[in-house]
Amino acid sequence: MRILLIEDEVEMAAVLRTALSRHGYVVDWVANIDDARVALRDPGLRVVLLDRRLPDGDGLILLPVVAALPDPPSVIVLTARGQIDERVAGLDAGAEDYLVKPFKLEELLARLRVVTRRRATGMGQRLVLGALSFDPAHREAQVDGLPLPLPRRELALLELLLRRANRMVLREAIEAAVFGFDDAPVSNTLDSHVSRLRRRLAESGAGVTIHALRGVGYMAKAE
């Protein structure tokens, strides 16, 4: 899942990106409101982690921008501004959650799971195809109830293919969901990830195959 982190403290941003990446998230980072306006146009984003004290203004002014997007990501405010009236202002402005610094990583991960479950409402929280299942909130794949460990990009790839099972998913849509700003894929990078995911699915007995339409995209189907 793609996350946009809007945070001007470089050390904080580096720590969060590293920690969240270890838990299967793809994290992009910008440090100010102007760059955030551009980054928010990316259709692959699912969650925004938003600081309020940014060098060019209060991060809350981005919430109407988020709300106007065709598929708006969830917003969790991460800030040192923790007075009750400030929290109320953030939630009233459209944030789904408000977390005051300093906070524990475990609490942020729990809140990410909550907003992920909210997004999954109406779409079925657990994605199932063949013997394979995927839990979006906990970023976990299983085959016949047994864990299927996958690297974060393969997890993101698997989630997208399962959400659109039996339908062709365009390469552009996959690349937007799987790769961040800093690791744009070269021509065969996506194909390599698909190849590795295919092999893991076959070795685990998932009962799922990934079909390719050369140069167009991929589709997951039950065997």
Domains of the chain: 2-120 (3.40.50.2300), 127-222 (1.10.10.10)
State the pLDDT at residue 188. Answer: 81
DSSP letter at 72? P
The per-residue b/e assignment along 182-204, b for 16 or more CB within 10 angstroms, e otherwise, is eeebeeeebeebbeebbebbeeb
Q: From CA 59, how far away is CA 81, in angstroms rounded?
A: 11
Residue at token pair 């980072």: 29
Question: Residue-wise pLDDT tens for the chain (223 aa)?
Answer: 889 999 999 999 999 999 998 888 889 999 999 999 999 988 888 899 999 999 999 999 999 999 988 888 999 999 999 999 999 999 999 999 999 999 999 999 999 988 887 776 545 578 899 999 998 878 889 999 899 999 988 998 999 899 889 999 988 888 887 887 666 666 688 899 999 999 999 999 999 999 998 889 999 999 8
Q: How many CB atoms lie within 10 A of CB 68?
A: 9
d(CA 33, CA 6) in angstroms, rounded, equals: 8
pLDDT value, residue 186 = 63
Say whether 120 sits in a helix, a strand or coil: helix
H runs (alpha helix) in the chain: 10-22, 33-39, 63-67, 84-92, 105-120, 152-163, 171-178, 189-204
pLDDT for position 93: 92
Distance between CA atoms of residues 35 and 31, nearest Å: 7
pLDDT for the residue 85: 94
pLDDT at position 99: 96
Q: Output the pLDDT for position 32.
A: 97
- pLDDT of amino acid 121: 56
> For residue 42, which of 177, 193, 216, 185 has the smallest C-alpha distance?
177
| pLDDT at residue 176 in the model | 80
What's the pLDDT at 120? 62
CA 219/CA 223 separation, integer angstroms: 12
Whole-number pLDDT of residue 86: 94
